[in-house]
Structure 1
């Protein structure tokens, strides 16, 4: 299928009438499927009386991934052929299936490893003269299991939960429901109406002009991490946007109050962090190591520490050797070509790190799993106490909710602050003090004063921690 056709007048015969003509043919029509039969290609095959697929072919109705639904009878014929559960799964996810799975589902009649056309011709000759009534899918009744209503309710809940506001998966469920409850012709009308709704629904617009956000309800700022630049943007947004527009910043460390002060309505300024789409080293390769290098040079970050943070020159050393990440084909990883996307481990980097350690007298040691766990999680918990101490969060439950829902912290562990209570605050403090003495140049391992205060107060239960904090109310 050529999705560019959606933007222009389509040429050739309309697909729906053509499929109907094929299905009504008095002679057997056999679809020979090679490569892929996706979208309209599969809908065309569903209008044929028989389907023969090569073993390496793939089939599917991926329209939902484009914000649409199969609009040439796919939502009406597929449930009649393979049943409601399979049709719901395939149509609402857009998943492709192999020829073997298609055969198992009943989507195709025969799979071959040899010449597909020859196999299709052979099948056509073998059924010539036989009745085709049972092979016309549109005339078949959709098999409706006893729990059909529950199936549709479950499917609707699933897509609303997973799609998070997308309307195409919901429309797909509604279209399949029409196949299960309406005659074919009326189901096709329902499919057509749903397709029209999706096709004319709101679309993402883009612009290079800041005036384009004048009438929006929410703006997310994601410009370069520089206070002067961000201040300028917020002043512009405040002057351009309509009253009541929320202004979000994704800054990682700049003062939000200072940004909010640039606007006419500082109470509408909020913080929203986006991150962890991939590991930090892969992300660094993607954005370009030279970007951070230039920032560090501009800030004259040449000492061992900067603003109480340990500073490693490794990234700078890679840049000095022309390793800027994906753009040069070499960075923390190696790529098959400049601009490549597939990251591979680079033997050169391992050799470079060995020489770096040897020159500076660093001795590599094996770190056991328990130490890795404690140094990572206890440092995270320590930062959580700093957040509470700085009144960025109003209570430990806020931090736990964010980590459970936003960072996939195991639900049965309750979140990092709840986990700290399970482990015991005194043990957390003891281990942090131990690791901090071993690594004085890592500030995140220095126990937070609030943690010390809680331990000194007998490690009260988590719901009483805020009583130890003088003012538990959030700054945000």
Structure 2
């Protein structure tokens, strides 16, 4: 998998392992053999290592992580490269990541195309660089940059990498020819000064100060994650230990992390994200359905969600009409979009050029007539079925026949919206998560009439605008909100029974969620939650009042509505489940008035408050969601547990080091999960989410792992 050739006096080792030239065992052996051959050839004066196809080696072969280690290991290959008396040049294009960057750092010189990127993304897989990367990068960049790059896993452009000292020269054009010419210019020069093992780490005298700052940063930014902490320890050793001992220390830390549950979970998530792109639905799949071109778009509604969606579209370089019926609302939406774009430029998330182009692509309008030629429209008004049907009917008459009509609904059945049009096959749900410009999940929902071509189009659009799209079948609440509903519902029941909101939040934040359920509710707005609940109640013909105890056969609490009626809408009103008087209205602080509300509420219902344990909070919030996840698989709403886990990782920021709720359930044990669900079903018979899943029951009783069931033909009950 490494093509060897000689160009004049330069040996070229061209890695040829498509698609990303992963450093598999065969590639490592090919590099080792190529170096040996070049060393023995007296006519060879210099050596160039490059990648064939679209990229320089972009990292290790992740599939090998779970297999026994096979020599030659990358470190020994790298040591042979570094010890060569002939100059070795890494000629980089595409992405030079992880093991690829380690190979480059073993080379004496590194040149790159201007479009290339380098980085150490191992931390995202729950591990750290395992071939001396934590020891070699600090020697060229200094400690602060090394701490930042390795603990964050961020990619660095070629120009920036040159400023850091990683890259020696940046070229345009043919990188292999440039690399050969550069190598020829180094012939006759000693390689000893270019061997990083002998280089002192710049700023090493301040290692403790830098390490303390880095550790504080990772514990704050990556709370609960082991890998970033181990990365800091490994990098610190580049100063505190001789090179060989530092490499040995790195190897030890790599093994500990590699055998950890977090690494297994994060690697599961890595493969799951790639799997969800291979979608299936009745009549088509990702391999057979060809997406329609989307060259122009429109968003209906200039509120918080609509403006956020428009930012995603504009940032991807697509023209976007922003439609509002009220001039004031439209102007506010335009201001919001411009502010968000300017903020992204200031934070360095997008370039000034991208920001300026995005501004030029925004087309505010109060007339639907401007939408006659657009390829795709996203309706983003609030959750009201009648209003959405009215908008779809209007769009159906105005837009060209090929236009795809999308609803950014979080819970309403797409079939009930599409019925208002004469093009149900071109109607689809695109559920963005708040804030739309930040959250990566895009839940695409197909109805009984949605065509595979329509599904293919919105799945491709999701990737175009930088989202992780997941395709699911339409039902009440779809995948994400249907499965998440018990999480918020049980949180409310727990505070009815005796827990306090901040106690529940703290338990879940300690578990790994970035925010507890009540802080999340305050952030999104309690009134939004109430409106969604009212819409759900309408489907059962129920008008919610203080006397309502059940909705659709489910236990119901009107605590949210009580707080909304008191003007406690969440952050936007300065108070909700918490009060927000500090840090510019962003810091949640305990509010005694909420305790009084809870006590009055419980007295009115005749409920005696009790002490609730942390374990019960975790079980009550997560286990019914897991139970619902199994029902979603039973019903074919989602095709795979990976669809569910990715939805939670990117839609609700479930901790990636736990893999997702379905993966987490498998680690806890399906028999344990099933037993506790049965316990709570007996305790709370009026909550349907505690009715045990038939699939979960079968897998638990027969001791069948979920992964084994998914791999079985048909995978049915």
TM-score between both structures, scaled by the size of structure 1: 0.53
Deviation at 1:30, TM superposition (A): 1.3
CA gap of 1:178–1:454, structure 2 versus 1, over 3 A, is: closer
Deviation at 1:54, TM superposition (A): 0.6
- For residue 122 of structure 2, the aligned residue among 35, 54, 63 is 63
What are structure 1's unaligned runs of at least 5 residues? 206-278, 285-310, 345-382, 420-440
Deviation at 1:197, TM superposition (A): 1.6
The reply on whether 1:85 has 2:85 as its aligned counterpart is no
Alignment match, 2:418: 318
Deviation at 1:28, TM superposition (A): 1.5
Deviation at 1:410, TM superposition (A): 9.6
The 3-state SS of whatever aligns with 2:515 is: helix
Give CA-to-partner distance per residue, 1:97-137, whole Å, 9 cap, x none.
11111111111000001222222223223232233332111
Deviation at 1:340, TM superposition (A): 2.4
The 3-state SS of whatever aligns with 2:123 is: helix
1:42-57 equivalence runs, <5 A: 42-57=101-116
Alignment match, 2:461: 342
**Cα contact 1:34–1:53 (8 A) shared by 2:** yes
CA gap of 1:410–1:27, structure 2 versus 1, over 3 A, is: same
The 3-state SS of whatever aligns with 1:340 is: helix
Query: Which deviates more, 100-109 or 58-67?
Result: 58-67
Deviation at 1:161, TM superposition (A): 3.7
**Cα contact 1:53–1:108 (8 A) shared by 2:** yes
The reply on whether 1:406 has 2:511 as its aligned counterpart is no
Deviation at 1:472, TM superposition (A): 7.3
Aligned counterparts of 2:516 and 2:253: Cα–Cα separation in 1: 33
Aligned counterparts of 1:68 and 1:41: Cα–Cα separation in 2: 16
Give CA-to-partner distance per residue, 1:246-292, whole Å, 9 cap, x none.
xxxxxxxxxxxxxxxxxxxxxxxxxxxxxxxxx999xx9xxxxxxxx
CA gap of 1:10–1:187, structure 2 versus 1, over 3 A, is: closer
Deviation at 1:89, TM superposition (A): 1.2
Give CA-to-partner distance per residue, 1:30-52, whole Å, 9 cap, x none.
11111121111111110111100
Alignment match, 1:124: 183
1:320-399 equivalence runs, <5 A: 321-322=424-425, 323=427, 325=429, 326=444, 328=446, 335=454, 337=456, 340=459, 342-343=461-462, 391-392=496-497, 394-395=499-500
Aligned counterparts of 1:62 and 1:312: Cα–Cα separation in 2: 39
- For residue 473 of structure 1, the aligned residue among 601, 606, 609 is 609
1:90-239 equivalence runs, <5 A: 90-144=149-203, 147-202=206-261, 204=264
Deviation at 1:187, TM superposition (A): 0.4
Aligned counterparts of 1:21 and 1:204: Cα–Cα separation in 2: 31
CA gap of 1:169–1:332, structure 2 versus 1, over 3 A, is: farther
Aligned counterparts of 2:178 and 2:259: Cα–Cα separation in 1: 42
CA gap of 1:313–1:70, structure 2 versus 1, over 3 A, is: closer
Aligned counterparts of 2:160 and 2:213: Cα–Cα separation in 1: 24
TM-score between both structures, scaled by the size of structure 2: 0.37
Aligned counterparts of 2:222 and 2:494: Cα–Cα separation in 1: 37
Alignment match, 1:352: none
Aligned counterparts of 1:130 and 1:107: Cα–Cα separation in 2: 20
RMSD (CA atoms):
4.9
CA gap of 1:145–1:16, structure 2 versus 1, over 3 A, is: closer
CA gap of 1:451–1:79, structure 2 versus 1, over 3 A, is: closer
CA gap of 1:63–1:319, structure 2 versus 1, over 3 A, is: farther
Aligned counterparts of 2:116 and 2:205: Cα–Cα separation in 1: 34
**Cα contact 1:57–1:99 (8 A) shared by 2:** yes
Aligned counterparts of 1:45 and 1:327: Cα–Cα separation in 2: 44
Give CA-to-partner distance per residue, 1:297-338, whole Å, 9 cap, x none.
xxxxxxxxxxxxxx9786424279355654759869995617
Aligned counterparts of 2:254 and 2:66: Cα–Cα separation in 1: 15
**Cα contact 1:335–1:342 (8 A) shared by 2:** no
The reply on whether 1:35 has 2:94 as its aligned counterpart is yes
Deviation at 1:70, TM superposition (A): 1.1
What are structure 2's unaligned runs of at least 5 residues? 1-21, 23-60, 266-377, 384-410, 430-443, 464-487, 528-541, 548-557, 568-591, 613-717
Deviation at 1:85, TM superposition (A): 0.9
Aligned counterparts of 2:545 and 2:504: Cα–Cα separation in 1: 17
The 3-state SS of whatever aligns with 1:405 is: coil
